[in-house]
Amino acid sequence: MTYDRLVCANCASPVSEGRCPVCRASRERLQQEGMFGGLTPAALIALLVALIAVAVLAHEMATA
């Protein structure tokens, strides 16, 4: 998701320029979202579940 061409509804200038508080808030939010690059909370939970499954399997293999 890019915000380069996103225009602010408050000041009608590009959000990337951060000319008003609304721009800066939107920019910060988008940057935080971009940091995880599509890694949603659901994806994080799925990753956690997969790790637990691997740990359980490894434990069962060790005890079998």
Spatial separation of the C-alpha atoms in residues 18 and 29, rounded to whole Å: 12
Q: Does 6 interact with Zn ion (rule: CB under 5 A)?
A: no
- Neighbour tally for 8: CB within 10 Å: 20
Tell me the window of 22-30, 33-41, 46-54, 56-64 that interacts with Zn ion (CB under 5 A): 22-30
Burial of 51 (0-12, 13-18, 19+ CB in 10 A): exposed
Q: How many residues bind Zn ion (CB under 5 A)?
A: 6
Among 11, 14, 16, 25, binds Zn ion (CB under 5 A): 11
Q: Does 30 interact with Zn ion (rule: CB under 5 A)?
A: no
Q: Does 20 interact with Zn ion (rule: CB under 5 A)?
A: yes
